[in-house]
Amino acid sequence: MKANFILLSLLYSMTACVYNEELAEVADLCQTKQANSITFSMQQSINIGETNSSQSIPNEAFAHVQICIKNEMPNLNLIVQGIRLCNIHLSGTYYFTENYWETDTALSTLSIETGELELKPNEEIMFPQKGNILFIPQSVRAWNPSVLPQQSQGCYLLLNCIVSDGVTIWGDEKGNSAEVAIPLSVCFQNNQSSVIVLTLAPNCPWYDVYGSRPQLLFVPITFDVTVDEWEE
């Protein structure tokens, strides 16, 4: 037996599942003790500040994920205003007796509302600061930045941010935030914790994807100095 619903609103046991009042129309379908599988469908947009309080699902069935953002640039400030995790599985079927997941074939995008996070040089932040984001266990290869991300089925993260040293180095023409694309290899396993680390540093794999091909950002300028004999 299967029933579709929003992931963050579900409580379930080995033989039955219980929904909140907003999903009363499907609750009757899953009150039977003969249910042996349920189809999950995550919300495609979550507020990180509300994640911990709204998740009341048995943890052992899901992967636990946090995101760590680091600023290792000595003279740059980083302001993060949102995250999109692209080309991942947000729905699938969980089989209780086998403790087994079957993800849907479709790849989706999860938008995470972070509010405004400011990181000064050599600062880092972990969020959610308490609890985790729960994901369906899955493995997805990373996007290959030799092509634009929308042309690939590889996983990538879009970080909506501003990078500045008093003057905007990365952002839109008006100084507002813009998205950088970051390749991401996903291997989420049930009942295990994972941390996605995003580091702003020289040669970090952060790409400008607004043009006809990806362009690596924050590449240091290097040069060689040679010394020749003095000539009159």
pLDDT in tens, 138-177: 999 999 999 999 999 999 999 999 999 988 999 987 889 9
pTM, 2 dp: 0.76
Nearest to 110 by CA among 162, 46, 154: 46
pLDDT value, residue 91? 83
pLDDT value, residue 134? 81
Nearest to 144 by CA among 205, 202, 189, 90: 205
pLDDT value, residue 62? 82
Q: In the structure, what pLDDT confidence band is assigned to residue 98 with cuts at 50, 70 and 90?
A: confident
> How far is the CA of 44 from the CAs of 49, 70, 135, 145, 168, in angstroms?
15, 25, 12, 24, 30
Per residue in 101-146, pLDDT tens? 888 888 999 998 888 999 999 999 998 877 788 888 999 999 999 9
**pLDDT higher than threshold 50 for residue 208:** yes
